[in-house]
């Protein structure tokens, strides 16, 4: 039996997608279906005095907050966001009313007058009086660390919003069925949507069913947002007694949905004359937008990664996620780690410059190694590969040779070293208690998980793991459609956990199934005994411990390690920065499917380069002024540099076949590598996106 793990087998979802057979949410239709839309606020902050439809409502279904049978809340971490505004408007895209009609075009006639008493909005997170979450991570004693220092390097670094810009916008269809509700949608996390519907509709869990349609990308942007959209469609469908489809066009999707949290990070770092870090004092502020959403977990991951992949005995990291009057920010690939490590890695080059030490040498000296402890006190295992990825990237890119040769030419080369924890933070995986099942069928085996295929290769990768764990051909392993009425809750499809955590559950379930089969083949067992389902439930790695109060312990099961090198060209007349080549080295434990893993690294790198140079959300009065693709720029092929990818494998004992996560990590590194390349080219940039205007204004070095 040829093993499938480690081979780039044919994708499970490939044929249907390239032939057009795959059905996305807008391809689906139901008898009697209406089209729904959202009436939104027009001011960022204030009190609603009166809402009055100012159009002929004949033939329309209207829903306002009085039509909500359950709690008027989008289930989340804080349950602070209403499905429909009550008296208060907190952001300019706040949903106020819902409208549906048989004809999609009729929705253009909808006009609602809203009277407000405006209040003063807050757009600067540091001035906000409302904090969604704050935390402190402390290791050692800062004063002792600074006492050892030869000098202290300080700096402040900023990153902007970023739009996930999945190919397919957010969309759902709600179908009222037998007193309950079924929602189909473009989704990352069907069980989150399920929970939200139960709460808002006031139904029993068994009366709500959520089914994922084929989904055109997520990047975190379909992690939480579909919960509010599904509630809206379901409220309309309930009132109409008919199915309701709600699909955002690109402008509404950009205007209203979550984005990456902007960040402001300040570093004070004590270093010896030789470049050893003695103390790290880090202050991190995230702009949460108007409601809490996932800000606490984004802050948590940002903070834990804020000291970067470096050893230091004396660390203090203070993090805050603040409320502002813009649409809520939320999950986006990396969950805050790209923001915090941007600051760390730009700061590292400034430390190197201050001391007159080579940027590689300062990183090599301080890099975390097996047996070292992180900021939370986690002791790293043998798969701590910071030094290896750094050396591999430096070698592959010929960093030193180019750095010497390019001085004063307008070209620049810069690097970044980073790490990324796989899976939920702290005790998150224990709380989730995820389950995954394998089912014996007449023709082979079926995978039952709630992990969604959103383009990243879930179905393929899970089938590979199950095939090899059972010793059966990859081709006979099927994956069930994600339907909350059919699959167990394997947790959300987020946080680089789908391979390492859910894949491991499947490996264990398949191992148990294999033991049950004994000497029989799957087909022979099925013929003799009929169907069989085997389920595995999450168990933490032995000895793992996390103290949520003190923020200490094993923050993640394991970490991936990465190093990026950016090569750029700065146009002396326009200050435009052309990224010429990226070298991306990633240590991910084991590449289950090398081609898809490479695709994740290339995609994350391209998205990170765009965050660094192109993607600029312009907020005007608390709303995105450039919410179209004509002026919110994402990279075309011509803007995307050549990417040289190197995958290193140091197996993690508790990952499936040694695998760790790969989805998020590649977006941690590109932005600081590019800004460090700008520094090499002579520009002192501390905020991204590094648009030509910013580069022009940056101090010359």
Residues in the interface with ligand MOS (CB under 6 A) total: 9
Nearest Cα residue to 350 out of 153, 88, 192:
153
With binding defined as CB under 6 A, does residue 586 bind ligand MOS? no
Report in angstroms the alpha-carbon separations of 141 from 35, 138, 162, 281, 314: 60, 8, 36, 10, 5
Q: Which two tokens stand for residue 297?
A: 């977990």
Q: Who contacts 656 (Cβ-Cβ below 8 Å, separation ≥6)?
A: 465, 469, 499, 500, 503, 504, 506, 507, 592
| Residues whose CB is less than 8 angstroms from the CB of residue 77 and which lie 6 or more positions away in sequence, other chains included | 292, 293, 294, 295, 296, 297
Specify the residue, 222 or 680, whose C-beta has the smaller distance to ligand MOS: 222
- Would you count residue 310 as binding ligand MOS (CB under 6 A)? no
Instruction: Supply 210's token pair.
Output: 């959520």
Q: How far is the CB of 178 from ligand MOS (least distance, A)?
A: 33
* Closer residue to ligand MOS (CB): 149 or 331: 331
Q: Which one of the spans 178-186, 331-339, 414-422, 543-551 is the region binding ligand MOS (CB under 6 A)?
A: 331-339
| Contact region with ligand MOS (CB under 6 A), list: 152-160, 326-334, 420-428, 628-636 | 326-334
d(CA 592, CA 190) in angstroms, rounded, equals 25
Report the alpha-carbon distance of residue 602 to residue 24 in Å, rounded: 25
501 vs 584, beta carbon nearer ligand MOS: 501
Can residue 220 be called a binding residue for ligand MOS (CB under 6 A)?
Answer: yes
Rg (C-alpha) for the chain, rounded Å, is: 25
Residue 107 per-residue DSSP state? G
CB of 94 to ligand MOS, least distance (A): 23
Contact flag: residue 333 with ligand MOS (CB under 6 A): yes
Instruction: Give the Cβ contact number of residue 628 at 10 Å.
Output: 12
What's the angle, vertex CA 353, arms to CA 688 and CA 679, rounded to 5?
35
CB 368 within 8 A of CB 419: yes
CB 172 within 8 A of CB 185: yes
Cβ–Cβ under 8 Å, residues 588 and 650? no
Q: Which helix (H) or strand (E) holds 610?
A: helix 594-613
* CB 65, min distance to ligand MOS, A: 29
Min dist. Cβ of residue 297 to ligand MOS (A): 9
253 binds ligand MOS (CB under 6 A): no
Piece of the chain touching ligand MOS by CB under 6 A; list 198-206, 327-335, 341-349, 424-432: 327-335
Q: For the chain, how far is it from start to end, CA to CA, in angstroms?
A: 60
**Does 495 interact with ligand MOS (rule: CB under 6 A)?**
yes
Which of 163, 168, 223, 281 binds ligand MOS (CB under 6 A)? It is: 223
Q: What is the nearest approach in angstroms of ligand MOS to the Cβ of residue 223?
A: 4
Q: Is residue 260 part of the contact set for ligand MOS (CB under 6 A)?
A: no
Tokens of 171: 């969309």
**Residue 166 sits in the site that holds ligand MOS (CB under 6 A):** no
**Cβ at position 502, least distance to ligand MOS in Å:** 13
Residue 587 within binding range of ligand MOS, rule CB under 6 A: no
- Closest approach, Cβ 298 to ligand MOS, in A, equals 8
In the complex with ligand MOS, the residue whose CB is nearer, 397 or 456, is 456
Interacting stretch for ligand MOS, rule CB under 6 A, among 332-340, 424-432, 566-574, 639-647? Answer: 332-340
Q: How far is the CB of 495 from ligand MOS (least distance, A)?
A: 4
User: Of 82 and 338, which has the nearer Cβ to ligand MOS?
Assistant: 338
For residues 77 and 119, which CB has a smaller minimum distance to ligand MOS in the complex? 77
Residue 331 lies near ligand MOS (rule: CB under 6 A) = yes
Among the listed residues 91, 160, 163, 79, the one whose alpha carbon sits nearest the alpha carbon of residue 122: 91
Site for ligand MOS contains 261 (CB under 6 A): no
Minimum distance between the CB of residue 215 and ligand MOS, rounded to whole angstroms? 12
Rule CB under 6 A: is residue 192 a binding residue for ligand MOS? no
Q: Does 494 bind ligand MOS (CB under 6 A)?
A: yes
Residue 335 binding ligand MOS, by CB under 6 A: yes
Please select the residue that binds ligand MOS; options are 184, 225, 332, 399, rule is CB under 6 A. 332
Question: Judging by DSSP bridges, how do beta strands 208-212 and 180-185 pair with one another?
Answer: parallel
Q: How far is the CB of 362 from ligand MOS (least distance, A)?
A: 30
CB of 556 to ligand MOS, least distance (A): 13
> 549, exposed or middle or buried, with CB in 10 Å at 0-12, 13-18, 19+?
exposed
CB of 212 to ligand MOS, least distance (A): 14
DSSP assignment of 165-200 equals --SSPPEEEEEEETTEEEEEES-S-HHHHHHHHHHH
- DSSP lists the bridge partners of residue 447 as 438, 479
Instruction: Identify the three-state secondary structure at position 138.
Output: strand
CB 301, min distance to ligand MOS, A: 9
Q: Determine the interface stretch with ligand MOS among 325-333, 470-478, 643-651, 686-694 (rule: CB under 6 A).
A: 325-333
Evaluate whether 689 touches 585 at the Cβ level (below 8 Å).
Answer: no
Contact between 641 and ligand MOS by CB under 6 A: the answer reads no
Residues that bind ligand MOS (CB under 6 A): 188, 220, 223, 331-333, 335, 494-495
């Amino acid at each position: 039996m040829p093993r499938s793990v480690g081979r780039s087998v044919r994708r499970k979802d490939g044929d249907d997608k390239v032939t057009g057979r795959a059905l996305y949410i807008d391809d689906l239709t139901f008898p009697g279906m209406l089209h729904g839309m959202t009436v939104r606020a027009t001011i960022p902050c204030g009190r609603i005095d009166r809402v009055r439809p100012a159009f002929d409502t004949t033939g329309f279904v209207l829903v306002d907050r009085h039509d909500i049978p359950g709690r008027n809340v989008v289930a989340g971490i804080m349950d602070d966001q209403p499905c429909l505004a009550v008296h208060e408007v907190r952001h300019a895209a706040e949903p106020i009313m819902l409208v549906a009609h048989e004809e999609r075009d009729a929705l253009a006639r909808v006009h609602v007058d809203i009277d407000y008493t405006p209040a003063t909005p807050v757009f600067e997170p540091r001035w906000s009086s409302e904090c969604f979450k704050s935390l402190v991570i402390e290791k050692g004693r800062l004063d002792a660390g600074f006492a050892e220092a030869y000098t202290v390097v300080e700096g402040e670094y900023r990153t902007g919003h970023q739009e996930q810009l999945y190919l397919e916008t957010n969309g759902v269809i709600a179908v009222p069925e037998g007193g309950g509700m079924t929602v189909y949608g473009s989704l990352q996390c069907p069980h989150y949507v399920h929970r939200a519907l139960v709460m808002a509709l006031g139904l029993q869990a068994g009366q709500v069913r959520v089914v994922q349609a084929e989904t055109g990308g997520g990047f975190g942007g379909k992690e939480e947002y579909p919960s509010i959209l599904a509630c809206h469609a379901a409220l309309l469908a309930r009132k109409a007694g008919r199915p309701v489809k709600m699909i955002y066009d690109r402008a509404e999707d950009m205007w209203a949905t979550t984005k990456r949290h902007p960040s402001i990070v300040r570093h004070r770092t004590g270093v010896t004359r030789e470049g050893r870090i003695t103390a790290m004092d880090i202050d991190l502020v995230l702009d949460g937008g108007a409601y809490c959403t996932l800000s606490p977990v984004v802050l948590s991951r940002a903070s834990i990664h804020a000291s970067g992949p470096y050893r230091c005995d004396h660390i203090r990291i203070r993090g805050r996620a603040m409320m502002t009057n813009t649409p809520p920010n939320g999950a986006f690939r990396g969950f805050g780690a790209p923001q915090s490590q941007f600051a760390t890695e730009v700061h590292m080059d400034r430390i190197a410059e201050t001391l007159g030490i080579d940027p590689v040498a300062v990183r090599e000296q301080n890099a975390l190694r097996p047996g070292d402890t992180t900021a939370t006190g986690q002791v790293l295992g043998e798969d701590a590969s910071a030094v290896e990825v750094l050396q591999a990237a430096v070698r592959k890119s010929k960093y030193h040779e180019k750095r010497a040769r390019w001085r004063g030419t307008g070209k620049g080369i810069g690097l970044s070293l980073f790490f990324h924890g796989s899976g939920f933070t702290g005790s998150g995986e224990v709380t989730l208690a995820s389950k995954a099942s394998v089912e014996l069928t007449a023709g082979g085996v079926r995978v039952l998980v709630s992990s969604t295929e959103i383009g990243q290769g879930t179905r393929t990768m899970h089938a590979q793991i199950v095939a090899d764990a059972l010793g059966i051909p990859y081709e006979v392993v099927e994956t069930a459609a994600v339907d909350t009425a059919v699959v167990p809750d394997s947790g959300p499809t987020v946080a680089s956990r789908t391979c390492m955590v859910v894949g491991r559950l499947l490996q264990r379930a398949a191992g148990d199934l294999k033991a049950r089969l004994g000497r029989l083949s799957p087909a022979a067992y099925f013929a003799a005994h009929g169907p069989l389902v085997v389920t595995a439930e999450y168990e933490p790695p032995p000895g793992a411990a996390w103290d949520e109060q003190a923020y200490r312990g094993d923050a993640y099961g394991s970490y991936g390690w990465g190093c990026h090198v950016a090569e750029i060209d700065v146009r002396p007349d326009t200050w435009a920065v052309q990224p010429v080549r990226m070298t991306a080295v990633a240590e991910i434990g084991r590449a289950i499917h090398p081609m898809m893993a490479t695709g994740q690294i290339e995609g994350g790198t391209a998205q990170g380069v765009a965050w660094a140079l192109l993607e600029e959300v312009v907020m005007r009065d608390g709303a995105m002024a450039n919410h179209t693709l004509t002026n919110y720029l994402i990279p075309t092929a011509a803007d995307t540099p050549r990417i040289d990818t190197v995958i290193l494998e140091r197996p993690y004992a508790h990952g499936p076949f040694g695998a760790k996560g790969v989805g998020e990590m590649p977006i941690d590194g590109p932005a600081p590598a590019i800004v460090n390349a700008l520094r090499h080219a002579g520009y002192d940039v501390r905020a991204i996106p590094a648009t030509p205007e910013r580069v022009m204004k940056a101090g010359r070095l």
